[in-house]
Structure 1
Amino acid sequence: MSDDILFEKRGHAGFVTLNRPKALNALSFDMVRALARQLTEWESDPQIAHIVVTGAGDKAFCAGGDIRSIYDARQAGETEGLSAFFRDEYLLNAQIKAYPKPYIALINGIVMGGGVGVSVHGTHRIGTEKTMFAMPETGIGFFPDVGGTYFLPRMPKKSGVYCALSAGRLKQGDALATGVLTHAVSADSLADLEASLETATDIGAALAPFLVTPERGPVSEHLEEIGKAFSAESVEEVLNRLDASDTEFAQKAAAAIRGKSPTSVLIAFEQMKRGGDLSFNECMKLEYRIVSRILQGTEFYEGIRAVLVDKDQNPNWTPSQFGQVDSADLASYFEEPQGGDLPLA
């Protein structure tokens, strides 16, 4: 068993620790598979009443998946099996969503990408004042996956669509107001909260003494404006509505969207439109279709190069303009992949 993820029975609880603090607890393929196996084992264990997931260190709960390894494999010419990580990760997300026991994520610090996938689908998402949520995938030529197709369109006033397109960040107050978090606590109380959860028979009662009321954040302040802009029927119209606003918030959102991969933004917008009407498992199947197609292209690898490898923060997107993205090419991301759909009922 790798030390990158730790499992421990403490009282009535099964504790999971994502244990790669130097890598901001980014999920590796081995961690994904180990967590899936352990959840399966604990599901039938009568001594385990609920699951508690934490991240080592105080910087991040989990900052995403270990996508650098996928880039390195592609660079080495190892193109077979690149989708296996995402297949197993998406199956894990579905397992967490359907888990029959309470699944409690204690979020302290950064929670992005794959970290969202192992937290937001649980029954309890408890965040501290250090919480910083984002789905930054359009900035690396990717798309907001790990169940983003399901939960982002269901966030109030199109705030999830805003997050998907702009990679907008939510701190504790905004994350609670939009439903990313179910509860807010202080980071100083986490050790005592964990101890309480070890013996808790009523999770709500165990949480109650620790709950705090966070300050409102900028997204909460601008929910009405977000709703008006991001309810548009096209990315072009979203940008037009943001451009027509005289608020700094709208101008920053428009600039952020224009800095992302045009292909990724258009994929994410279509993904958000479809996801609101799909079941969770249907959403995961859709994401597997998208990722299977993305792995065959160039945008994702160019995004990783610019952000994680060369770190010049200057990706060369192809095409570079929204109007240059071919509609037939865009449609191909939503078709069944050659190897078949994700095996979910």
Structure 2
Amino acid sequence: MSAPARTPTGPGNEGLVRPSRAAAGRLPVEYVLPLRWSADAGLAELTGYLRELTRLVDVTVVDGSAPEAFARHAAAWRGVVRHLAPDPAVRGVNGKVVGVLTGVAAARHEHVVIADDDVRYDEAGLRAAHRLLDDVDLVRPQNYFDPVPWHAWWDTGRSLLNRALGADWPGTLAVRRSTFVAMGGYDPDVLFENLELVRTVRAYGGVDAAPAGLYVRRLPPETGHFLGQRVRQAYDDLAQPARLVTSLAVLPAVVAALAARRPGLLLGAAATVVALAEVGRRRAGGARVFPRTAALAAPLWLLERGVCGWLALGHRVLRGGVPYAGTRVARAANSPRALRTRRTASSTPAH
């Protein structure tokens, strides 16, 4: 069964998204938080955030933490949110996707916001996502870091380049439950789960929107966690051939320029990247949430991705995949063609 196609009639993919002046009261929205924690350092802060959320929406936390941590969370959230364990019938290497599949299946509303544990929506963001889902099947907001330690500044360079060239990949998506159910969810055995969900919605005839002005705050990770993600995030490019080729070309280009003793080429390239990132920073009012110096991080991030891209490719060729949550994942995401083929096969009547 394919999802109904709709044409966006809201603010579209550009401009600063603001809530309707007439909006008031609770929203018919399910907020799904897939979670798996080994430490509870942020439990009090997260509990406060969830308590605030429940003033506006219904919240479901799908908690894949170890039994001791699950029990602590259950005690902290009793009477605050609905707290579930992942459905044991849902299997997959990507625990976040298993949590999402469980949470969306249990959702009490048609409009569902899916968010990582470091995402912090405000009322304006929730109302904007809810309004957009009246016209599209999936909404991809724009995250920004607050506060901005050095590594969040560094990673913001990536976001700005993505914004300049299209749209960024956030830690949150909003989806229509009927569309999600009709397409049978999405593959829990891939690494880049957000790309997989967007591609699956499109393959099943759904419409998605990535409004550049729908800003949702995100807390920065710990420095060690950030450093540990570098190769794994570069592995995502294996599902995007054009990006992979670009990232793999960075290091050879730098080496060639240095070997030819032409530092001016590198300075010119860096200036071009900064200018492109600044376009992304200013797009749709972004200067109000992204630091003034964030565009300077773009060449540094691009150089990092050039190095990590080769390391990620080495993991794929030599080890069959990249380490993730105690296992090894081979596929970053399914190709659009593979998903369309799967849709055709599932809709073909048996003889």
Give the TM-score taking structure 1 as reference length: 0.29
Relative contact order, higher structure (CA 8 A, sep 6+): 2
